[in-house]
A = this chain, B = another copy of it.
Amino acid sequence: MKVKELATAADVTPDTVRFYTREGLLRPSRNPNNNYQYYDAEDLRRLRFARKARQLGFSLPEIRQILGQADEQHSPCPMVRDVFEQRLAEVERELAELQQLRTRMVAALSAWQEMPDGTPDGHTICRLIEHWDDPATSSNKEH
């Protein structure tokens, strides 16, 4: 398969195929006549694997490591379980952060309903923001 064929088969762009190849996740062979890269069924499996892993939150270096282990006949599954739990914890942290941001934004928005637009007076930029009270800063509960 050539780049675009593989890309179509895995439902990604040719650019992504080329990028993953540069990153060492795929190992195409080369036709010395025209310098084209040719991918086989194994590459397709690797690419599909990589995409699924990405959707589950694995990074490219992690995926490269998993593929490398499998290449060397080691089961990557224990590592996968391990990394995955860390990722889940991280996702939950991000989620909490984003929820907090949303809460702050909703609160700010409702507070703004009652505030008029300020006219610039040289020492105020935008009261909506300047008079907004950051809960993380005002009463520091962190650490």
Contacts and interface: CB of A to CB of B under 8 A. Distances in A.
Interface of A: 45-46, 48-49, 52-53, 55-57, 66-67, 70, 73-78, 80-81, 84-85, 87-88, 91-92, 94-95, 98-99, 101-102, 104-106, 108-109, 112, 117-120, 123, 125-130, 132, 134, 136
Given A81-B112, A101-B91, A109-B85, A129 B75 contact: no
A75 B119 contact: yes
A104 B84 CA distance: 12
A72 to B, nearest CB: 8
7 contacts: A52-B129, A56-B104, A56-B108, A67-B125, A80-B126, A87-B105, A88-B102
Prevailing SS type, chain A contact patch: helix
State the oligomeric state as a number of copies. 2
Contacts of A67: 125
Contacts of A130: 48-49, 52
Contacts of A126: 49, 66, 70, 75-77, 80
Nearest to A96: B98
Nearest to A132: B52
